[in-house]
Amino acid sequence: MHTRDLIQFLSELSENNNRAWFVMNKPRYDILRAEFLELVMKLIIDISKFDPEVAGCNPKKALFRINRDMRFSKDKSPYKTTFSAAITASGLKKPSQGGGPAYYFHIDANGTLLVAGGEYMPPPARLKTIREHVIADAAGFGKVLKNKKLKERYGDLQDEGKLVRPPKGFDADAPHIEYIKMKSFIVWTETGIKKKIPADLGKDVVAGFKDAYPLVAWLRQAK
């Protein structure tokens, strides 16, 4: 994939986020999109070597659309300034669709590569299930948190909109209560690649996914 060209395209799009510019540059987009799809296809194959459950993920459905949903947003920019994908065992990428834990990555207009694993802002019923799983498998969850490779790459789980008090139905002295307060169960890391394009971007992304696998596998057990 021509990563430098992708970053340049996204940078220009961020400065010209309108339909006229996009239509004029649609041939560039089509080429880059096809290359990105090839990358995702290769990622699914490589991830399947340590996580066979994602082998059936449809790469085309793993890609996010570049068009923004503007219905409920004050920002009326029609296009996203990222190329992104979420690879899941279910083949569904959105939490609202019941996609479950995902391997997610994107490249943005600033040349930032984000690699993540887990579940970001799952819907209420799913979040409750995960929280209950933390209680039911406190020891297993503790092992995930202490996993050496996960900690070295990501540190701790990301704190996204953490509750001040325990959610309804959970005791304040429950094991891992500070994690139960979280609204997401996800890890991620960001790397600036604009000045130094990775020699093998796919290899770097897969390495990040492999380190996130213990969390993804544990979340799959939450049913």
Tens of pLDDT, residues 135-171: 999 999 999 999 999 999 999 999 878 999 999 999 9
Strand, helix or coil for residue 135: helix
Please compute, for residue 76, the number of CA atoms within 13 A of its CA located in the half-sphere on the CB side.
Answer: 1
Q: What is the mean pLDDT of residues 42-59?
A: 97
A 10 A CB-CB count for 178 gives: 11
For the chain, the domain total comes to 1
Q: How confident is the model at residue 71 (pLDDT cuts 50, 70, 90)?
A: confident
Asked if residue 28 has pLDDT above 90, the reply is: yes
Q: What is the mean pLDDT of residues 77-88?
A: 96
Distance CA 104, CA 116 (A): 5
- Least confident piece of the model among 10-19, 38-47, 97-106: 97-106
In terms of residue numbers, what domain contains 138?
Answer: 3-220
* Residue-wise pLDDT tens digits, 57-70: 999 999 999 999 87
- The answer to whether the predicted template modeling score (pTM) of the entire model surpasses 0.75 is yes
